[in-house]
Chain A
């Protein structure tokens, strides 16, 4: 137990719980977030970030770590603290760089360009042009307007969870049912987005 009276899990215990589904997973996410939340203060003192900036860097650190732990990219060669601190440090440096360069750039991760990597330049540029013309805020708005079940399915999909994992989280019978329902939701979102 720590001084605040809560149970202190070992790195290995946290990692195992994060790789499971269910209530323990959410608790472990909170445990991980809480354990190193003092990094926020370090970001403020060592990198001269505002509290909001440092909090964002720390939140992004935890999200990146959660994904890497889940898809086993994190091999536990270093302690969680060392691993997280390295990511956090890089995020802080990125933030400082962004401050001085493209302040107004939109945060768009690499997922899109990654997926277009395997097609020819001419085909890619057709899709890229359409993506650049997309009304992102309208799409976000329409996603938020969808019923809870669809929104949850699409958000898990966005987080790169497999249909099998989603089936276990949301208690669907099989991964195939998840896929069919998810694509139906996606189609519904497309129609909502297209209607003027």
Chain B
């Protein structure tokens, strides 16, 4: 775990020339350390991908729900016509609304 902390500090901070050289030397001379660095980056990407997939599933659910329960264009039209009819009834003296009445 100490190595993971060290690796994370290297990638998230702004390592100077000395720290970068030390990091590179360890990568080239210590296969177990190189493996941990590779694991850290692979795990970061895998976690990111898992999170992305979970969000997409959440979006899929919303999209599916809206497709089945959202107002269809015909239902929307019915709503607008009904609303217009109410307005037309309220204002019987407006000649422009006679067609709707």
Contact assessment for A130 and B62 in the assembled complex, using a CB-CB cutoff below 8 Å: no
Query: Could you say which residues of chain A place their CB within 8 Å of the CB of B101?
Result: none
Contact call B51/A159, Cβ cutoff below 8 A: yes
Known contacts A30-B62, A56-B56: does B40 contact A109 (CB below 8 Å)?
Answer: no
Residues of A within 8 A of B (CB): 3-4, 30, 33-34, 37, 40, 55-56, 59, 62-63, 107-109, 111-112, 115-116, 118-120, 122-123, 126-127, 130-131, 134, 136, 139-140, 143-144, 151, 154-160, 183-184, 186-187, 189-190, 193
In Å, the complex CA distance between A75 and B41 comes to: 30
Residues of B within 8 A of A131 (CB): 38, 41-42
Q: B interface, how many residues as a size bin?
A: 35 or more
Contacts of A144 in B (CB 8 A): 50
Inter-chain contacts of B38 with A (CB < 8 A): 127, 130-131, 134
Best-surrounded residue of B4, B5, B38, B60 (most CB of chain A within 10 A): B38
A55 CA / B11 CA spacing, docked (Å) = 34
Report Cα–Cα, A134/B49, bound state, in Å.
15
Q: How far is the CB of A59 from chain B (nearest CB, A)?
A: 5
Label chain A's interface by main secondary structure.
helix
Q: Complex formed: what's the CA distance from A184 to B4 in Å?
A: 9
Chain B 16-33, CB within 8 Å of chain A: the 1/0 string? Answer: 000010011001100000
In the complex, the answer to whether A155 meets B50 with C-beta atoms within 8 Å is: yes
Among B5, B24, B48, the residue within 8 A (CB) of A183 is B5
Q: Which residue of A lies closest to B1 (CB)?
A: A187
Given A3-B76, A34-B66, 11 more pairs with CB closer than 8 A: A40-B63, A55-B63, A109-B45, A130-B38, A134-B38, A155-B51, A157-B47, A158-B47, A158-B49, A187-B4, A190-B39
B35 on the A face (CB < 8 A): yes
Residues of B near A154 (CB, < 8 A) are: 43, 47, 50
B5 partner residues in chain A, CB cutoff 8 A? 183
Residues of B within 8 A of A159 (CB): 48, 51
